[in-house]
Chains A and B, each alone.
Chain A
Amino acid sequence: MRPTPAAPPARRRREGLRALLWLSPWLIGFAVFFVYPLAATVYFSFHRYDLFTLEFVGLDNYRYLLTDDRALTSIGNTLWLVVFMVPAQLLFALGVAWLVTRLKAGAGFFRTVFYLPSLIPTVAGTVAFVFLLNPATGPMNQFLELFGIAGPDWFGDKDWAKPSLTLLGMWGTGNTMVIFLAALLDVPKHLYEAAALDGAGAWRRFRSVTLPTISPVLLFSAVTGVIYALQYFTQAMIAARVASGSTDSPGSSFTPGYPEMSTLTLPQWLFQMGFRDFSMGYACVLALLLFAASMLLTLVLLRRFRGLEEVS
């Protein structure tokens, strides 16, 4: 690409105005739905606010966080998802994608089958999984029984609820799988051939040729995967609701986390505090915690992916 000659100042200014005009809807959106709310969240976090009265309380909300067992539990659960669910999804997606690259027959068909579950509406998929893993009538434990394994209570057991959600996540990992598949197919063939000539085995070829080539894609998926895990809400909420048999009517006393707070994630507790208990000031403290974590990850992503910003 030839460097474009520097534009005269008048033209530059005109270009700037033109861009401002085209970007204005987005700039308004950014101000109204990001800049203002973020500032307001910081402001509210120092106040007690329940939609009617606003009272300055200093650092009380922050202090309360340290003594709020449920908040700490929810943070622990969210971290569990980051540490176990995200890697499980990524490794599984990579394995499935690799498998598809090895297929000589029906690769397109298999790709479709593996991608399809990721499109299933989250609520529908979760309701279905609670049924499939239902210890009394669901097919999963019957299947395990064929091998003499007594299946657990899955969504009804506090130790198995998060692994059950992980299974659901792996079932719906098709998006990542398709991305990895494209990356794997992009690895230049001659690199493999060169490695094979040097006598490298399959594992060695994977480690020395495939991994380095696709590592940017892996990192991108890992960071976005962690950011999605930080937002994890719907699956946990629905699983708890369906497994415990609670209703969703307005004013109902459903508290998320069934069984025994094991599925309570940070966004759920934030939702509960802010919009069910109307402790909005405290909810803002939880929101800022979420913000700090996700921004940290975004920075990692941007540092590594300077290429994202490049313009051809």
Chain B
Amino acid sequence: MSTAPAVLPRTPGPAVRRPTAAGLRRRRALHWIAVHSVAIALAIMFLAPLVFIALTALMTDQQALTSRLWPHSWNWGNFAEVFARSPLLQWIGNTMLYAGLGTAFMLLSSVPVAYALARFRFPGRRAAFLAVITMMMLPPQVVAVPVYLIWARAELTGTLWPLILPMLLGDAFSIFLLRQFLLTIPREYTEAARVDGCSDLATLLRIVLPMARPAIAAVALFQFFYCWNDYYGPLLYASTNVDNWTLSIGLASFKALHSVQWNLTMAATLLVMAPVIIVFFLAQRVFIEGVTLTGVKG
């Protein structure tokens, strides 16, 4: 690791008009060291929380109550303890159901809508797109009361279905993102397919889908993670029924149920984080490219 101080003294005096080659090289080197030192310090700050979570997760009950930061003994059993003390597997199952079905339904419904918005020319196309933007920007709490009443009338409150079923009718953010990507596919491809006698559906399935794979992967991952991390939705609909708790709901109450056991709480926290981190490292490129897609240019 670099031991250079984060901020290095600059070359004193006013800027020289014609710096010598050696002086320039020296300044470049100092700049290099300064920038990289700051980056390393920042990276340590970003990673420190994760390291402390892991260390605490391995401590004994007693030690987690002290201010010591390094575990005396490595208690790998804490993870088993978390599984024994809470229905973690059930929470994982419920979360998988929500995230898995939610993502599948979202793709099924949103891809065709995005395709139509990007390719078809029809009156009201602009209005339809504005509706997508409006939905995307709408805080979910705004319509929460009437939507809750719909599901209450259908006797589905207390389950995760009020969160999964609407995905069959499209998700605004995914539609928006997919549309932005589909616009970048040259019209010539779809026109050529149509000239060859392909139907709309065949064009979508055979021509557009293979080309849009990165965008589809990105929205699928975003949706999956959104569901996996969602707290507000499950709190609203499923928190009244312990059998339908998700990881978010379970983890939120974990600390209270095992009041002072920070070690077990951190072990549970780590178990919730782990799949996300693993998936991220497997599909890093998809994420970064997907996020870049969302930063729209004017």
Chain A interface (Cβ < 8 Å from any Cβ of B): 4, 7, 12, 15-16, 18-20, 22-23, 25-30, 32-34, 36-38, 40-41, 44, 51, 96, 99-100, 102-106, 110-117, 119-125, 127-129, 131-132, 134, 136-137, 139, 142, 171, 175, 178-180, 182-183, 216-217, 219-221, 224, 227, 230-231, 233-234, 237-238, 241-242, 245-250, 267, 270-271, 274-275, 280, 283-284, 287-288, 290-291, 294-295, 297-298, 301-302, 304-309, 311-312
Bound complex: CA A44 to CA B149 (Å)? 12
Contact partner of A298 among B120, B121, B134, B235, CB < 8 A? B134
Residues in chain B near residue A117, CB distance under 8 A: 46, 49-50
Given contacts A19-B122, A127-B254, A270-B144, 20 further A-B pairs with CB under 8 A are: A18-B200, A26-B132, A34-B135, A37-B143, A51-B152, A100-B39, A102-B35, A121-B247, A121-B251, A121-B276, A123-B229, A137-B67, A179-B294, A216-B297, A233-B231, A238-B231, A241-B256, A271-B144, A284-B145, A309-B129
Contact partner of B65 among A7, A26, A137, A283, CB < 8 A? A137
Bound complex: CA A276 to CA B294 (Å)? 36
Main secondary structure on chain B at its contact with chain A? Answer: helix
Residues in chain A near residue B252, CB distance under 8 A: 123, 127, 237-238, 241-242, 248
Residues in chain A near residue B253, CB distance under 8 A: 247-249
Residues in chain A near residue B39, CB distance under 8 A: 99-100, 103, 106, 110
The closest CB in chain A to the CB of B170 belongs to A26
The closest CB in chain A to the CB of B136 belongs to A298
Q: Could you count the A-B residue pairs with CB atoms below 8 Å apart for me: how many are there? A: 312
Q: Tell whether B236 is near chain A: CB-to-CB under 8 Å.
A: yes
Q: Tell whether B23 is near chain A: CB-to-CB under 8 Å.
A: no
Bound complex: CA A134 to CA B266 (Å)? 13
Main secondary structure on chain A at its contact with chain B? Answer: helix
Contact (Cβ within 8 A) B168 A119: no
Contact (Cβ within 8 A) B175 A26: yes
A117 to chain B, nearest CB (A): 6
The closest CB in chain B to the CB of A15 belongs to B122
Q: Tell whether B77 is near chain A: CB-to-CB under 8 Å.
A: no
Q: Tell whether B16 is near chain A: CB-to-CB under 8 Å.
A: no
The closest CB in chain A to the CB of B135 belongs to A34
Residues in chain B near residue A312, CB distance under 8 A: 183-184, 187
Q: Tell whether B96 is near chain A: CB-to-CB under 8 Å.
A: no
Contact (Cβ within 8 A) B272 A124: yes
Contact partner of B288 among A111, A219, A271, CB < 8 A? A111
Contact (Cβ within 8 A) B113 A127: no
Residues in chain B near residue A280, CB distance under 8 A: 145
Q: How many residues of B contact A (CB 8 A)?
A: 107
Contact (Cβ within 8 A) A216 B298: yes
List, sorted by A's number, 23 A–B pairs whose CB atoms are closer than 8 Å.
A30-B131, A103-B35, A104-B36, A105-B36, A110-B42, A117-B49, A117-B50, A121-B229, A131-B53, A132-B52, A178-B288, A178-B292, A178-B295, A221-B295, A224-B137, A227-B137, A233-B232, A241-B256, A250-B239, A270-B144, A294-B139, A304-B298, A309-B130
